[in-house]
């Protein structure tokens, strides 16, 4: 059966914009973030403290953290201890770390093997937890890797368990290239929820093959009540060739509300937020609910 409430973690300002070719100004990013907050988004990845040489679009992370309205939970993504240092000195109180189950993907994305990343992250997470910071661990290529193909769910489970043992608050388990199907979504999330009941479990689907909504429905049936989504369906990882954006927040919210699952989000205001960022991104926004909003 379906839950009464679902939490949406909006990742548009981070996953949505990190790969955007046009330079989006800090002012426009903040307008987007604040419109999302006004629509009722309570948890959001607002930026990332990564190398500006690797990801130029996120070079203004410091200003974003300083200027954003402190409302709900604002999460920043960090790849290493330098990123965490920058995040904390900007005043962030929720941090996401990220690592790929696939070694080949992790090398492309962070320039380290998965094992090296985990060795580096262990003391970083211990320090963050000691300081009372909310820690989220993002697990990339949990289903498929653009370089290695199908990933064994035992490997995904092992990595998730390791983070859980280190005391992270939340796991965000990602279909990085949008290749999973609903059966795989149901099976992996059933396994993870059964084996790791002590952490918040999020599903993060990219919508490359338009299976995002179906995968969310399957994950809901497997007991997941937290989903990472991107307003306007923006985004994609620069180091995952061919992958498109996350499943669109407005389409997910519409599906959930139609099934009488609450999100606390105002769909019309959410589409207003999409209309604020739409002129500043290079790809046309083509989500079901945004198209209907523009017709009215
Ligand atoms: P590297 O070149 O191996 O780094 O990059 P390094 O440690 O050798 O340092 C090189 C230079 O970068 C040094 O500066 C460092 O200080 C600097 P220099 O001495 O040359 O002036 N540096 C940094 N600067 C700012 N912030 C930092 C930082 N770290 C080092 N944190 C590195 C390694 C990890 C930095 C690089 O590979 C990187 O930034 N990668 C990030 C890639 C990324 O952002 N990917 C997208 C996010 S993940 C994602 O989208 C997936 C997700 O959505 C889930 C899913 O869908 O799968 C989460
Ligand atoms: Mg992603």
Does any ligand 1 atom lie closer than 6 A to the CB of residue 138? yes
Does any ligand 1 atom lie closer than 6 A to the CB of residue 79? yes
Instruction: Point out the catalytic residue in the list 138, 145, 237, 271.
Output: 237
Does residue 238 carry a pLDDT above 90?
A: no
The phi-psi region of residue 149 (left if phi > 0; otherwise alpha if psi is between -120 and 50; otherwise beta) is left
Q: Which ligand is nearest to the CA of 77?
A: 1
Q: Give the distance (Å) from ligand 1 centre to CA of residue 217.
A: 33
Does any ligand 1 atom lie closer than 6 A to the CB of residue 293? no
pLDDT tens for residues 173-210?
Answer: 999 999 999 999 999 999 999 999 999 999 999 999 99
Q: Give the distance (Å) from ligand 1 centre to CA of residue 223.
A: 33
Q: What is the pLDDT of residue 100?
A: 98
Give the separation between CA 176 and CA 202, rounded to whole angstroms: 14
pLDDT tens for residues 262-281?
Answer: 999 999 999 999 999 999 99
**Mean per-residue pLDDT, 243-270:** 97
Does any ligand 1 atom lie closer than 6 A to the CB of residue 83? yes
Name the percent of the chain lying above pLDDT 90.
95
For the beta carbon of residue 162, count every other beta carbon within 10 angstroms. 15
- Is 237 designated active site? yes
* Buried-state track 220-249, b at ≥16 Cβ within 10 A, e below 16: bebebbbbbbbbbbbbbbbbbeebbbbbbb
Does residue 242 carry a pLDDT above 90?
A: no
Q: Give the distance (Å) from ligand 2 centre to CA of residue 141.
A: 9
**Mean per-residue pLDDT, 239-266:** 95
Label residue 131 by pLDDT band (50, 70, 90).
very high
Q: What is the ipTM of this complex?
A: 0.98
Does residue 290 carry a pLDDT above 90?
A: yes
DSSP E strands: which ranges in the chain? Answer: 7-10, 43-48, 73-78, 94-100, 134-140, 144-145, 149-150, 170-175, 200-205, 226-229
Point out the ligand 1 atom lying closest to the alpha carbon of residue 84.
Answer: 31
Nearest partner of 105 among 34, 155, 48, judged by Cα:
155
Which residue among 44, 46, 51 is best mutated to probe the pocket of ligand 1, counting the most ligand atoms within 8 A of its Cβ?
51
Does residue 59 carry a pLDDT above 90?
A: yes
Does any ligand 1 atom lie closer than 6 A to the CB of residue 139? no
Point out the ligand 1 atom lying closest to the alpha carbon of residue 206.
Answer: 56
Q: What is the pLDDT of residue 241?
A: 83
pLDDT tens for residues 96-121?
Answer: 999 999 999 999 999 999 999 999 99
Label residue 149 by pLDDT band (50, 70, 90).
very high
Which residue has its alpha carbon closest to ligand 1 atom 44?
A: 50
Q: Which ligand is nearest to the CA of 55?
A: 1
Q: Give the distance (Å) from ligand 1 centre to CA of residue 49.
A: 8
**Mean per-residue pLDDT, 37-45:** 98
Point out the ligand 1 atom lying closest to the alpha carbon of residue 110.
Answer: 37
What value does the mean pLDDT of the chain take? Answer: 97
Q: What is the pLDDT of residue 193?
A: 98
Point out the ligand 1 atom lying closest to the alpha carbon of residue 246.
Answer: 56
pTM of the model: 0.97
Q: What is the pLDDT of residue 239?
A: 87
Q: Give the distance (Å) from ligand 2 centre to CA of residue 177.
A: 8
Does any ligand 1 atom lie closer than 6 A to the CB of residue 98? yes
Name the percent of the chain lying above pLDDT 70.
100
Does residue 153 carry a pLDDT above 90?
A: yes
Which residue has its alpha carbon closest to ligand 1 atom 2?
A: 111
């Amino acid at each position: 059966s379906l839950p009464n409430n679902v939490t949406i973690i909006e990742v548009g300002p981070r996953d949505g914009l990190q790969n955007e070719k046009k330079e989006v100004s800090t002012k426009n990013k903040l307008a987007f973030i604040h419109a999302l907050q006004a629509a009722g988004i309570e948890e959001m990845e607002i930026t990332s403290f990564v190398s500006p040489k690797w990801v130029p679009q996120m070079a203004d992370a410091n200003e974003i953290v300083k200027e954003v309205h402190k409302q709900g939970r604002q999460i920043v993504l960090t790849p290493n201890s330098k990123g965490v240092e920058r995040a904390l000195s900007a005043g962030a109180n929720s941090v996401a770390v990220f690592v790929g189950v696939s070694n080949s993907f992790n090398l492309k994305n962070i320039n380290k093997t998965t094992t090296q990343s985990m060795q580096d992250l262990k003391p970083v997470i211990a320090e963050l937890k000691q300081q009372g910071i909310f820690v989220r661990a993002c697990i990339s290529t949990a289903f498929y890797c653009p370089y290695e193909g199908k990933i064994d769910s035992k490997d995904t489970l092992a990595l998730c368990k390791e983070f859980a043992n280190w005391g992270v608050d939340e796991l965000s388990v990602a279909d990085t290239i949008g290749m999973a199907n609903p059966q795989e979504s149901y099976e992996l999330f059933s396994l993870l929820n059964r084996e790791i009941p002590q952490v918040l479990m999020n599903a993060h689907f990219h919508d490359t093959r338009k299976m995002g909504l179906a995968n969310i429905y399957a994950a809901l049936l497997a007991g997941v009540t937290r989903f990472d989504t991107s307003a306007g369906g923006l985004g994609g990882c620069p180091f995952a060739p061919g992958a498109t954006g996350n499943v669109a927040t407005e389409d997910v919210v519409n599906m959930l509300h139609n099934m009488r699952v609450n999100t606390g989000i105002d769909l019309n205001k959410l589409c207003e937020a999409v209309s604020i960022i739409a002129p500043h991104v290079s790809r046309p926004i083509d989500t079901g609910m945004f198209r209907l909003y523009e017709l009215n």
